[in-house]
Amino acid sequence: MIPQPVNLAAAFATFDEVYAPRVAAELNGQMVKLAKIQGRFVMHSHPNEDELFLVQRGELLMHFEDGPTRTIREGELIVVPRGVRHCPDAQEECWILLFEPASTLNTGDEGGERTRDAVPLTADTGAGL
């Protein structure tokens, strides 16, 4: 199968909900997810999975239970190692790309009402249809 490119701008344009990840691509048991975030999420960790956040638009604040808050700007990425408690936050709407195993839950070991399954992109963006 010959793959198609994914247009990230078009993909982000297909949804507005925050903290509701979309699956843009899959490879090697890992998923590339897109999410819009605004406001503070919940502090959590992923016992078995490292988690990559790449900022596509805006500014991501990553709070850590055991350390300083990091600011990740457009074009920057951060990898949160497994087991490290973290809490994404953004003062203004921020668009992020996540790279993590398919099994990773957004709320990690915390669970609760903000848990969301990542759902496929629905519009014709070339990805995950």
In the complex, least distance from residue 92 CB atom to Ni ion, rounded to whole angstroms: 20
In the complex, least distance from residue 80 CB atom to Ni ion, rounded to whole angstroms: 6
Sign of the C-alpha dihedral computed for residues 126, 100, 110 and 37 taken in this order: negative
Candidate ranges 1-9, 13-21, 47-55, 115-123; the one touching Ni ion (CB under 5 A): 47-55
The smaller minimum CB distance to Ni ion, of residues 51 and 125, is found at 51
The smaller minimum CB distance to Ni ion, of residues 51 and 58, is found at 51
Report the greatest alpha carbon distance in the chain.
Answer: 45
Residues 50-89 binding Ni ion (CB under 5 A) are 51
Structure-block tokens of residue 42? 């919940």
Nearest to 47, CA basis, from 84, 78, 77:
84
Instruction: Classify residue 92 by its DSSP letter.
Output: S
In the complex, least distance from residue 12 CB atom to Ni ion, rounded to whole angstroms: 20
* Residue 88 CA from chain centroid, whole number: 9
- Which residue is listed with tokens 């921020």? 94
Count the residues of the shown chain that bind Ni ion, applying the rule CB under 5 A: 1
The smaller minimum CB distance to Ni ion, of residues 81 and 120, is found at 81
Coil, strand, or helix at residue 7? coil
In the complex, least distance from residue 104 CB atom to Ni ion, rounded to whole angstroms: 7
Residues that bind Ni ion (CB under 5 A): 51
